[in-house]
Structure 1
Amino acid sequence: MTENAYIKLVPESVKATVTIEDVKELLTYYQMITAKTGKQLDWDYDKKAFPYEMKVPERMKDKVIYLQAKEDRYHMILIGVDKEVIKDEDGLERIQSYIQFTLPETATFGDKGKANELCKFLAKKLKAQLHLFNKRVMYYYPRK
């Protein structure tokens, strides 16, 4: 069965909306900082920290990317962006952007671990609300 995690942008987040290009930039930044860490440690850490290749499907190129594994213990992670209409505490409707991480049925435990790690990284950078695969919620934004 497929599993989903969501990074939801709240009013306190760094951005109000997010595009797939923003996600690609953040993932590229993640690769860059892990490569720097690996260089400091004199180890190929970037290949272990991000064992995927970013691919863009032609049909939904402005909504979805997927991470195809380069290592044998990993398979694939799907990442998409979208918007939803929600009701605030005041009862007012507003549009909320979110990033969805999907693990297909063929995903491994390694994929789930990496997806959790990437979700936490993106949520921290965007100061967003993270709904994990196990339905728990983490808050990376200043709460009242």
Structure 2
Amino acid sequence: MGKSAYIKLVESSPRQELSLEDVKGELERYIRMTSDTGKQLGWEYASAAFPYTVEEKTTDGTRWLLLKGTEPQLYKHLVIGVGTATDEKMRTAPHIQVVVPTGATHGDTAKANEFCRYLARAFQAELHLFNGRVMYYYPRKP
């Protein structure tokens, strides 16, 4: 069984709904940004920053993204899905689940952490990391 991280939308997040297309769009934006950075630096930074191909899969009516590594010795695969969960206040909150499957490399884990932080910042959400720690990327009241 792999390890999971969760990016949870909260009340103060600007968006209150998520879809797989939203996540896919943010990943495409990430690729575009790193590609532009690479052009400015004069090297192929996009292939180093996002060493995966994105495939959309469906299992039992549930859609999810499979990120397959382009360099199998360094990066194998990651899984990203969208769902909803009930929190302690009995509210239904959408979340993104990022899974590092069994057999993944250390590079996969590092990239998964990087993508989680990027997605949490993009959606202004609460990030529950693989190690159980929580990071807050949304405006908090003083």
**Contact 1:2–1:103 (CA<8 Å) still a contact in 2?**
yes
CA distance in 1, matches of 2:63, 2:13: 20
Cross-structure match for 2:14 = 14
Cross-structure match for 1:101 = 98
Measured after TM superposition, the shift of residue 61 of structure 1 is: 7.2
1:5 maps to 2:2: no
**Contact 1:63–1:82 (CA<8 Å) still a contact in 2?**
no
Tell me the secondary structure at the aligned position of residue 87 of structure 2.
strand
Calculate the TM-score normalised by the size of structure 2.
Answer: 0.94
**Contact 1:19–1:62 (CA<8 Å) still a contact in 2?**
no
Question: In structure 2, do the counterparts of structure 1 residues 21 and 60 end up closer, same or farther at CA, with 3 Å as the change threshold?
Answer: farther
Which residue of 126, 137, 141 corresponds with 2:134?
137
- Any idea what the Cα deviations from partners look like across 1:108-141, whole Å, max 9, x if unmatched? 0000000000000000011000000110000001
Cross-structure match for 2:113 = 116
Cross-structure match for 2:47 = 47
CA distance in 1, matches of 2:139, 2:44: 35
1:63 maps to 2:70: no
Measured after TM superposition, the shift of residue 142 of structure 1 is: 1.1
Count of matched residue pairs: 140
CA distance in 1, matches of 2:128, 2:109: 14
1:126 maps to 2:123: yes
Cross-structure match for 1:24 = 24
Please provide the CA RMSD for this pair: 1.3
Measured after TM superposition, the shift of residue 58 of structure 1 is: 3.7
Q: Tell me, which stretches of 5 or more residues in structure 1 are unaligned?
A: none
Cross-structure match for 1:86 = 87
- Any idea what the Cα deviations from partners look like across 1:29-84, whole Å, max 9, x if unmatched? 00000000000000000000000000011436763111000013000000000001
1:75 maps to 2:79: no
Between 1:36-45 and 1:51-60, the stretch displaced more is: 51-60
CA distance in 2, matches of 1:56, 1:79: 10
Q: Tell me, which stretches of 5 or more residues in structure 2 are unaligned?
A: none
- 2:18 partner amino acid: V
